[in-house]
Structure 1
């Protein structure tokens, strides 16, 4: 909203001095972080007070760690704080015409509703089981279907159509260099019209923003580049050429340089680009959304654990969104250039700020729990954002904590059922699952467990970035 307002004001009479800063992702991302922190801290105390007044408190399982019995009655459904701290800054500072932003906002709201319904049933209907598992899965599958079909059908997800990004940044090859363009140029005007993705007519006069150094002093200047009539179409095609085939169903593969995997190839019985290949991609989306949202949900068992680890994962996605949406950085890092994806940095920044701000009240001893309202929402957002920036194959690394927590539950339940069937008595691998409760049962204080999980999450985040060079 603010972004659209400042864009309009910046176009008034050629621009208002100082207002141009609002178009920069770096500035808007910083504002999104600041706003999300302030919102979560300011409204947090009011929401906590309201939850207390309505006796919306957590019930503690009797077989849990003894220390957790003291937490009975602590307000839950604190995910409302996180939701507000994500949505408001993104709506204010994001480009609401961007399909990536709209889809991730929809995913966040969708999972928020599911989590809210789950917590509502637990608290107000006194049903510890909450929303029936089949309805929870149905909601996750529904979101996966929406995300998957949007990404394979919407034109904004079909990849770059040339060598110019949404904000006009150019990748200048030999041909364009021969026409007078230089590396680092940013396209401003085409035949007197401000450049945007709506401009579709080849031009004969381009105006670019260029860094010019004179007598050791560097400044930004507007440079006019005239194009001969016989070159107008070739230049335009160089900027807006054909899209990469089947871009929407491809993803980057870690540890392999210049290699992408096309999920459509799993439909080996048909040619690439067929309906079966697209359906397979949709199934992948369903799996990612379901797995990550449940992983974060299972991780939310200690004060500050889910919020802290999600903030770290959010930083990873924030950076990947920025470099993937930048034509120059993506080319340097040998990852897919994804037009429009850079705008996800606004959402990523807001998510990180919201999680960190929530820790103001959720760090030990917690004054509020996020509940399923927060954990399912954050997990869904992380999963969808990872799919959008084509880094879902890195999820086992930068979301390693969520993966291990989920696996500990799967192994515990499976082994218990297996031994009960074979031996008549169920046995356990861990003293308690998820894994963080196992360490509590061993006598480790929850603050130490949380701190160590954060450290591991940070190490895994660094490893995710290292994979860009380990090829």
Structure 2
């Protein structure tokens, strides 16, 4: 929005041209989202406390979590508000990729909100029934995938990039829809499963979003794309603003979510953030790199799949509790140790993902 205003103001003072630069808008997007989250955060936390919108803790989980009962949840609304306001202010709103991403943010946020509302307000421990949650997630993901496939104007927009292999870029064709679906829905649920400890999900999300800002910048710049031998897709450049808004909003939320947390994001935050990372990976054609950089999310999800599968097939559990972060807690690791070590692993995986830009 402000980019249009700055364009108009340049006729009076050319200094306003600075706001047309992508890097400047990326910095301002980060700071705007960060400040919004930090300024609104205390008021939102007090409001959630007043409305008695508190976290319900499982009795069969780590005993240390019982003290978390009643901690305000649905703080993801703070994250989404910061992202939306920042993107609407600093992004080029004529860019279709910006609107596709915002559509996923809002849609998945609504799904998560309904789930949280049922759990917290209506006191239904199951929340939104799983099959309906997956149904609506699937509807949104398929709609987005169909739109992107039908509106693609360049073969690069539907090609699959294989990390570390310079010439391996198979054309997906109709299978693009399948890949996009699993990237969006899978990442959304993976982040949701990871969100079990204070700050555990938000920091990997910040790291992956920051890395995707670099991927989006390179993919949307013809010179960098040619140099790095990756497809040049012009509209992806504006995704830098979205990614930096996620980083800023995430940092602002972490201010209140760090151990011991004053607020939890709830499904309204985790489902929306996961869906956002998934759709950005699709738009910049880095679905495989998302698996690498989001390795913590992948491990958490696999731990649940293995635990459920093992119990159903053999009647035995592999882990003391799933997702795997609870397994380490029950082994005696203090919660901060689990969180920080998972952060370190996430940072390493993100750096490996970034290395794929050059190691091809």
Q: Same fold (TM over 0.5)?
A: yes
Q: Does 1:314 align with 2:223?
A: no
Instruction: Say if 2:192 and 2:267, in contact at 8 Å, map to a contact too.
Output: yes
Alignment of 1:87-126 (within 5 A): 87-126=84-123
With structure 2 as the length reference, what TM-score do the two structures score? 0.98
Question: Structure 2 CA distance, aligned partners of 1:351 and 1:466?
Answer: 22
Distance across 1 between alignment mates of 2:241 and 2:197: 28
Residue aligning to 1:371:
266
Equivalents in 2 of 1:382, 1:249: separation in Å? 18
What TM-score does the superposition give when structure 1 sets the normalisation length?
0.75
Instruction: Work out whether 1:17 is the aligned partner of 2:14.
Output: yes
**Distance in structure 1 (CA, Å) of the matches to 2:115 and 2:78:** 17
Unaligned runs of 5+ in 1: 160-245, 265-276, 420-425
Query: CA separation in 2, counterparts of 1:390 and 1:249?
Result: 8
- Within-5 A mapping of 1:401-412: 401-412=296-307
Equivalent of 1:448, from 337, 344, 354? 337
Corresponding residue for residue 51 of structure 1: 48
Could you tell which deviates more after superposition, 313-322 or 15-24?
A: 15-24
Q: Is the 8 A contact 1:152 1:158 kept in 2?
A: no
Of 64-73 and 331-340, the range deviating more from structure 2: 331-340
Contact 2:228 2:357 survives alignment (8 Å): yes
Length, aligned pairs only? 360
Displacement, 1:151? 1.0
Match of 1:164 in 2: none
- Is residue 158 of structure 1 aligned with residue 153 of structure 2? yes
How far the C-alpha of 1:262 sits from its partner, in A, is 1.1
Residues 143 and 289 in structure 1, CA contact (< 8 A), matched pair in contact too: no
2-structure distance, mates of 1:254, 1:453: 23
Tell me, yes or no, if the aligned pair for 1:312 and 1:458 is still in contact at 8 Å. yes
Q: Deviations over 1:134-163 (max 9, x none)?
A: 111111111111211121122xx423xxxx
C-alpha deviation, 1:247, in angstroms = 2.9
The answer to whether the aligner puts 1:68 opposite 2:89 as a matched pair is no
State how 1:390-469 maps to structure 2 within 5 Å. 390-419=285-314, 426-469=315-358
Instruction: Give me the whole-angstrom Cα distance separating, in 2, the residues matched to 1:394 and 1:408.
Output: 20
Is 1:293 aligned with 2:188? Answer: yes
Q: 2:157·2:283 contact (CA, 8 Å) conserved in 1? A: no
Aligned residue in 2 for 1:2 = 2
In structure 2, C-alpha distance between the alignment counterparts of 1:137 and 1:27, rounded to whole Å: 38
- Structure with the bigger RCO (C-alpha within 8 Å, sep 6+) is 2
Structure 1 Cα separation of the partners of residues 93 and 221 of structure 2? 19
Deviation per residue, 1:351-383 (Å, 9 max, x gap): 011111100000000000000010000000000
Q: Deviations over 1:157-204 (max 9, x none)?
A: 423xxxxxxxxxxxxxxxxxxxxxxxxxxxxxxxxxxxxxxxxxxxxx
Distance 1:44 1:409 in 2: 32
Q: Which runs of 5+ in 2 are unaligned?
A: none
Q: Could you tell me which residue of structure 1 aligns to residue 75 of structure 2?
A: 78
Inter-partner Cα distance in structure 2 for 1:150 and 1:16: 40
1:217-366 map, 5 Å: 246-264=155-173, 277=174, 280-366=175-261
Name the CA distance, whole Å, in 1 between partners of 2:82 and 2:335.
Answer: 26
Secondary structure of residue in 2 paired with 1:432: coil
Superposed displacement of residue 259, structure 1: 2.6
Looking at structure 2, the residues matched to 247 and 17 of structure 1 have their Cα atoms a distance apart, in angstroms, of: 36
CA distance in 2, matches of 1:394, 1:140: 22
CA distance, structure 1, for counterparts of residue 93 and residue 357 of structure 2? 30
Matched residues in 1 for 2:354 and 2:158: separation?
23
The structure carrying a bigger helix percent of its residues is 2
Normalized per residue, which structure has more strand? 1
1:292 match: secondary structure = helix
